[in-house]
Amino acid sequence: MISRNFLLLGGILWTVAVGTACGQESAAAKHPIVLHAARLFDVAAGKIATPGEVLVEGERIVAAGSSVEHPAGAAVIDLGDTTLMPGLIDAHVHLFLHPGAEDLQTVEESVPERTILAALAAKDDLMAGFTAERDMGTEGAGSADSAVRDAIDEGLIPGPRMRISGNAISILGGHEDAIHYNPAQHVLGNADYANDAEQLVETIREQHKEGSSFVKVYETGPDRMVPGGQPGMAPVAGDPEFWDFHTPYQYTVDELKAAVAEAARLGTNVGVHDQGEPGALYAAQAGVASIDHATQLSDATVRLMKEKQIPAVPTFTIFVYFADHAPNAAAAAREKAMLDYKIHEFQRQVAAGVPMAVGSDVGPFPHGTQAKELELMVQYGMTPLAVLQADYLNGAKILMMQDRVGQLKAGFFADVIAVPGDPVKDVTAVERVSFVMKGGVVVRGRGVGDRE
């Protein structure tokens, strides 16, 4: 039998080999490149241009549209009957997780092993067309994600442009603490702990020292469905089942404000794991960059999110995956009820005009398959165009890369993918990526010098 360690070693050697190949291609791609295809998606205009061309010099886009200049000596890559699009953005990933028991993998697998798996996950995501991502916590691997990000940035391994947080931050006994293990064993939790505003600031500073580029905070804890309403809470107008969902908050408004202020001092922002109220209201009042999961949003929270342009990141794919892969009938019923509730509330949020971004929570399900998130958001109530613009425009904003990624536009990174058909008519096209360029380097599909 081939050992797991042998397979991991083989995988990382392949990753390094691909990274080396990428570096070689980069050195050879200093001449201009023109990408040509049947169509091009203009993100800001929300239109498909026919045909589509992108002029690339070095790592940047020089021009994009129906036609561009073809400089002398430019190589032309004809991608045929496809649509050119910016590289996809996933605003909620976990490179350090893989399918299986999440709590056990973080206990049984060493940080070096998990780091190797994270490098392989980063490659899978890139090959699926995701050229920018936000890693929402290493789940107990500390600042190991900074090593993966730095290796990607230095061209040692292939992967997306990464925003990383290290561990997420939680309260003692809160979300991702090891509260169901034997206390005498002192099993470590999967988060860094901070119990008040002072500790939040201290923890953020420590994570920044270790290389984090944004802050991930757990604002809510365990969630459950309890039909019949929450005592003392008035139902939302037109939605009598709103308070059937329960999740305790972990930080007050003032504590979250301290975290947001410290992140801003460091030139970054805060994303929160937040399933519902009143934590979501506190997060919106504090001015976080995104409210992730966002299963339950009150009318007051919706108003604030619209006013402050704080996107919700629904993460449907993980909910669907858990519902389809529950360990027993009781768990399946619980997950299905949660998903049904989430869909209902998402439709209310969309109708109310809540800003959205796209994040899949990939990790507990296989990396490289998360483009399904866009399909689910359309299935549950958004138009394909709205989802694509949410992915590119709001996703880039959350990652603080809005002047570099998310559009095929002069001066932006040459992060380009090609998909079949017209994604504005059929968003599932993003699940069939055939070509990936990152920073002017072809990492998947036909490149410079390839023959038919």
Q: What is the predicted pLDDT for the residue at 302?
A: 97
Decide if pLDDT at 37 tops 60.
yes
pLDDT score recorded for residue 234: 61
Write down the pLDDT at residue 232: 56
What is the sign of the dihedral through the CA atoms of 195, 196, 200 and 206? negative
Report the distance separating Cα 307 and Cα 355, nearest Å: 10
pLDDT at residue 446 greater than cutoff 90: no
Question: Distance from first CA to last CA of the chain, Å, rounded?
Answer: 40
The percent of residues above 90 in pLDDT, for the chain, comes to 81
Residue with tokens 């936000």: 134
- DSSP structure string for 164-209: E-SSEEE-TTSTTS-TTS-GGG----SEEE--SHHHHHHHHHHHHH
Summarize pLDDT for 188-224 with one digit per residue, the tens.
888 999 999 999 999 999 999 999 999 999 999 999 9
Higher pLDDT, 363 or 10: 363
How far apart are alpha carbons 442 and 448 in whole angstroms? Answer: 8
Report the pLDDT value the prediction gives residue 235, as an integer from 0 to 100.
63
Single out the residue of 52, 45, 35, 34 nearest to residue 422, CA to CA. 52
Task: Give me the pLDDT at residue 230, please.
Answer: 62
Which residues share a beta bridge with 274? 293
Q: Choose the weakest-confidence range: 12-26, 27-41, 77-91, 340-354.
A: 12-26
pLDDT at 240 (0 to 100): 72
Cα 420 from Cα 417, distance rounded (Å): 10
- The pLDDT value recorded for residue 5 is 46
* Phi/psi at 255 (5° precision): -65, -45
Q: Is residue 214 within 8 Å of 207, Cβ to Cβ?
A: no
| Cα separation, 87 vs 61, whole angstroms | 13
pLDDT value at position 34?
A: 98
For residue 17, pLDDT beyond 60:
no
Q: 178: pLDDT confidence band, cut at 50, 70 and 90?
A: confident
Strands 82-86 and 416-420: antiparallel
Q: How far is CA 110 from CA 104, 114, 137, 183, 280, in A?
A: 11, 6, 16, 21, 34
Angle subtended at Cα 289 by Cα 216 and Cα 345, rounded to the nearest 5 degrees: 95
- Mind listing the pLDDT tens digit for each residue in 430-445? 999 999 999 999 999 9
Checking if the pLDDT of 182 tops 90, the result is no
Domains of the chain: 31-87+407-444 (2.30.40.10), 164-398 (3.20.20.140)
Q: Would the pTM of this model clear 0.95, i.e. be above it?
A: no
β-strands 82-86, 191-193 pairing: unpaired
Cβ atoms 414, 54 nearer than 8 A: yes
What would the pLDDT profile of 369-418 be if each residue is shown by its tens digit?
999 999 999 999 999 999 999 999 999 999 999 999 999 999 999 999 99
- Across the range 297-312, mean pLDDT stands at 97
Confidence at residue 447, expressed as pLDDT on a 0 to 100 scale: 74
Of the candidates 100, 188, 113, the one whose C-alpha atom is nearest the C-alpha of residue 144 is: 113
Instruction: Collapse the DSSP code of 267 into the 3-class scheme (helix H, G, I; strand E, B; otherwise coil) and give the result.
Output: coil
| Tokens 């009042």, located at residue | 285
Two tokens at 97?
């997780």
